[in-house]
Amino acid sequence: MKLLVGRIDIAPIEMVVGYTLIHKLFPPSRAAMLTNHPKPIADEQYYLIISKDLPAVKQKNLMNDFNKGLKVLKKSGKYEQMVEYMIHRYYDGNE
């Protein structure tokens, strides 16, 4: 809200999180008034979090299955499509 009313000019936030919030909180006409700077402040990685309560074998299997699925998504171009969708519209996992 402070961005839209001119009280601040910049708000550092991870890009997908920022766009998700914008599209959840504002109608399209207001959301279109905000954008990101092309140069990122930092280049962060995402991590998979798995419960320590699971047996080690189950943890390893989940991690391997996740990595295989992620590789398939990236190879098919679907991963990049999902990221772009999250940036330009709110992604709810149904598409």
pLDDT digits 0-9 by tens, 17-52: 888 888 888 888 888 888 898 898 888 788 899 999
**pLDDT reading at 95 higher than 70:** no
Q: Six-digit token pair at 11?
A: 């708000």
Distance CA 91, CA 94 (A): 8
Model pTM score: 0.62
* Residue 32 DSSP code: T
**pLDDT reading at 68 higher than 50:** yes
How many helices (H) and strands (E) would you count in the chain?
4, 0
